[in-house]
Amino acid sequence: LAVTAWSARDSQRSGQLGRIVVTADAMEHLVRRASRIVTGAAAAVLVTVVVASPLLLDAASIDLDRIGARCLVLFAGCSLLLAARSYRHAAARTLLRLAGLGALASLAVHLVAGPGAGHVDTFFYVALALGVVALAAAVATGRGWRSVWWSRRAEVAESLCGSLAFAAAVVAAGMFRRLWEMTS
């Protein structure tokens, strides 16, 4: 933390040449407060994703909206999993990973037991799930996220998943369908 940070400045001037010296107590207080804020935000993300994902998937009744809802939950879950890797705060990282896994689990349950499940090609989804598990195991075993090559790929994937989640939100909310119906 830079000594010029407004949140870490001490009100008393002590030190050489008029520099501001941050006391250890002030730093500990700042770190504890920031830790609580980051943990609370990650917990809020977890609760929101775990509650909203099944509700969104169940609320989509028209095929086009259902496709958008599935894409939104998929890309948001993947984006959360990829974003969690960049957090040094262990609790926040764990909560964001749980949020991403919760979104993907609700999508898996919806694909297996939800409306339109008879049209699901089970082999495709099983093969895709096994591929994702194999990739995650390979990265975890080789500590791949720590290498520069894997880290760059993960950043690109995170940005792509986030962008696609925003795009899918338009379809999932029914805006695309409504515009389509208005023009036809």
pTM score of the predicted model: 0.75
In the block, residue with structure tokens 């609370």: 40
Helix (H) or strand (E) holding 137: helix 122-141
Q: Distance between CA atoms of 46 and 50, rounded to whole angstroms?
A: 6
Q: Give the DSSP letter of residue 118.
A: G
> Average pLDDT per run of 10 along the chain, which is 184 residues long?
52 56 79 90 96 92 86 91 85 91 90 70 69 70 65 84 90 83 82
